[in-house]
Amino acid sequence: MPSTVAGSSGRQLVSLANTPVELLLPNLVLDDPAGARMPNIKIFSGSSHPDLAQRVVDRLGIDLGKVVTKKFSNLETCVEIGESVRGEDVYIVQSGCGEINDNLMEMLIMINACKIASAARVTAVIPCFPYARQDKKDKRSDGALEVNMVMEGMKGMLEEGDHGSDVECRRRMRFARTSAFPHGTSGGLSQEHTHSRAPISAKLVANMLSVAGADHIITMDLHASQIQGFFDIPVDNLYAEPAVLKWIRENIPEWGNSIIVSPDAGGAKRVTSIADRLNVEFALIHKERKKANEVASMVLVGDVKDRVAILVDDMADTCGTICHAAEKLMEAGATRVYAILTHGIFSGPAVSRINNACFEAVVVTNTIPQEQHMKDSSKIQCIDVSMVLAESIRRTHNGESVSYLFSNVPY
């Protein structure tokens, strides 16, 4: 209990030296190791992937923050933060999947709600970044491309000797060229049609997150790493590569006789990194698209004969590319084909294509919920990356470097 001592001026002073700390700070919980280990942190989950958020907090040894999300009758999103975040380090886990537009708006509202509730810092943890594929303008608009395809087809008719339609074909070619390129082509595409009028939506999403109040972004395997430059706030782009290497070594017995294959030229840097770590060779497939989600032709560059081919990509949507690539690899003499993807979107006919394709296994991470996909296809397997996200949150909160995670899997 407090005791009194005589001061130098003769006053009675209260001594707290032998007073139990529980009496001084009655609200302090001393037997909570999680609270003592990670104070002033709150983690909230959006509605896109609650299972991943729960895995993250379980690894950190803390509880998920209380938040209520609902929709009004006119489908407006309403978010209520159920506990104080004043002065807290807040992390909001929301992946770009499912109802992407609704989930994106929900995350923006949650960020803003925490920010105006005086949170010290708000970090958006976005395992799969939405609109990441819309990171640049196309070289040619779809309209111009379709007209060009029509013109090529008409030229083929003329070359095959269909002279009965010669005049009509030439008239249609002139009309198509005039409609697509009203200012002339000057031997090629005009400057006006060199670029389409498509938006750079990934930049728009970056602006929205910043304006909503996000102070920091944690994401995984961005479709294009330069998206980090769209932000004026810190961005940690984590990699699934260490977890992928671990899975390959543990689940593919003949990985020493494997070859890492990129299904497009854009992923060459990714596969060369994995091939170097495994000390195996790599190959790539050059593809040409007629339009989005449709592959026109594929050319394999590299020797896969009598080897286990491992296709590696950052995401798969309708799976047309990887299924065509698997067929190409088997035709070229590969013994078995695996596909390893960070973000398994699997929209439209993707699962049925996987079931009908010649894959030994299609391995994805749980940046997107995969429970239903795994029920629909026995070939789909999942790598848990919650420990990578949890460790990045812990290191960010404690002011430690996250670069260790670029080449190591936390245990």
Residues 74-105 have pLDDT tens digits of 999 999 999 999 999 999 999 999 999 999 99
- b vs e for 325-341, b when ≥16 Cβ sit within 10 Å of the residue's Cβ? bbebbbebebbbbbbbb
Q: Which amino acid is at 254?
A: E
Per-residue pLDDT tens digits for 237-276: 999 999 999 999 999 999 999 999 999 888 899 999 999 9
Q: Angle CA(409)–CA(410)–CA(411) in degrees, nearest 5?
A: 115
For residue 137, the model assigns a pLDDT of 86
Nearest to 382 by CA among 197, 251, 225: 251
Percent of the chain with pLDDT over 70: 75
Maximum CA extent, the chain:
121
Distance, CA of 269 to CA of 353 (rounded, Å): 27
Contact status, residue 277 vs residue 256, Cβ threshold 8 Å: no
**Which residue's structure tokens are 């091939």?**
275
Residue 50 has pLDDT above 60, yes or no: yes
pLDDT category at 291 given cuts 50, 70, 90 is low
> Which DSSP letter does residue 66 get?
P
Nearest to 27 by CA among 82, 84, 78, 70: 84
Q: Which amino acid is at 391?
A: E
Region 205-213: mean pLDDT is: 97
> If you write DSSP's letter for every residue of 96-150 in order, what string do you get?
S-SSHHHHHHHHHHHHHHHHHTT-SEEEEEESS-TTTT--S--SS-HHHHHHHHH
Percent of the chain with pLDDT over 90: 67
Contact status, residue 35 vs residue 41, Cβ threshold 8 Å: no
Distance, CA of 125 to CA of 358 (rounded, Å): 35
Lowest mean pLDDT among 47-61, 193-207, 321-335: 193-207
Instruction: Using DSSP, state whether 248 is helix, strand or coil.
Output: helix
Distance, CA of 231 to CA of 79 (rounded, Å): 25
Per-residue pLDDT tens digits for 375-401: 999 999 999 999 999 999 999 999 999
CA dihedral 102, 206, 266, 318 (to 10 degrees): 0
Residue 158 has pLDDT above 50, yes or no: no
Residue 111 has pLDDT above 90, yes or no: yes
